[in-house]
Amino acid sequence: MSVPTTILPSRLVRGSREWGAWKRALPKLTPLLLAAPLLAYMVVFYAVPVVLMLLRSLNDPNWSLDHYVGLPGDTVFLRTFWITLSTSFVVTLSTLVLGYPVALALSRARSSAPLILILILLPLWTSVLVRSYAWMVLLGRHGLINEALLALGLLERPTRLLNTTLATEIAMTHILLPYMILPIANALRQVDPSLARAAAGLGATPWGIFRQVILPQSMPGVAAGVLLVFVLALGSYITPALVGDSREITLSMLIAQQVDQLNWAYAASLSAVLLATALGLIAVAQRLPGVGNAFRMNLR
């Protein structure tokens, strides 16, 4: 059966129009198509478990907010939450104080920059578990630090360094230090060197150049590093569990304890609080001046 000749041109025109529309839309859809496998993976293995966790915290024994309502009066939760926040603050401050000079040296280095970068990234190539065990060896009662202090005559007998809050802060500072250095170094690399030369030509001292030129320009990187380290410290579990004090546990350790005791609803509510705290900090930080652009700048 032959097709009328008047229908073929109209179909060809319609097909060419549809093909032209697809060609125009394809560049816009390409990023979404490339990210689709990762998005599907995150939905199935992250978003769905988080939603199920939130539902479990509400559905025990029935649909209610009892577990969340009781948290403000829960002394164990309040103490644990305060320890988690204070430890994260100390670790963030320590990484900032130690990491900024290293980031500054990395941004100014030329021939030695690859070596410095390797030394910074080297801890990231080692498992967190291995690094935590290494600190257990160093801080143990008969570890390297105690033995060195005894040999120097600074101690008469070994002191307790391991299983303390100080041990947790020291080990977490070492583990999270690269996450502070890299954003700051990236921000410092984007500072125009001519600004420092111009300030020096106008009579500014090296300290004045750093305080008035370099430091303000690096603040987006500082903000990004601070936020990144603080959020990672909030959810840290392995290091506090291995080197920390068992009487001063963090929120992640309390969650693990409740899961071991099969108290799923309470553990789910604690997990929701920890997640909400991290998301709240990110949302607040994004609204601070200069912080919102820090992540985009560090992704360039």
Looking up residue 184, the CATH number of its domain turns out to be 1.10.3720.10
Q: What is the mean pLDDT of the chain?
A: 83
What pTM was estimated for this model as a whole?
A: 0.81
Q: Is residue 47 part of a domain?
A: no
**Burial (CB count <10 Å: 0-12, 13-18, 19+), residue 279:** exposed
Q: Which residue has the higher pLDDT, 62 or 242?
A: 242
- What pLDDT is stored for residue 79 in this prediction? 93
In angstroms, the CA 132 to CA 123 distance is 11
Q: Is residue 107 part of a domain?
A: yes
Q: Is residue 171 part of a domain?
A: yes
Q: Is residue 212 part of a domain?
A: yes
Q: Is residue 285 part of a domain?
A: yes
Q: Residue 139's Cα: distance from chain center in Å? A: 26
Q: Is residue 29 part of a domain?
A: no
* Residues 6+ away with beta carbon under 8 Å from 156: 150
Q: Which domain holds residue 280?
A: 74-299
The string of pLDDT tens digits covering residues 249-289 is 899 999 999 888 888 888 888 988 998 998 888 888 777 65
- What pLDDT is stored for residue 9 in this prediction? 57
Q: Is residue 234 part of a domain?
A: yes
Q: Is residue 140 part of a domain?
A: yes
To the nearest 10°, the Cα dihedral for 208, 209, 210, 211? 50
Number of domains in the chain: 1
230-248 in b/e form (b: 16+ CB < 10 A) is bbbbbbbebbbbbbbbeeb
Tell whether the model's pLDDT for residue 190 goes beyond 90. Answer: no
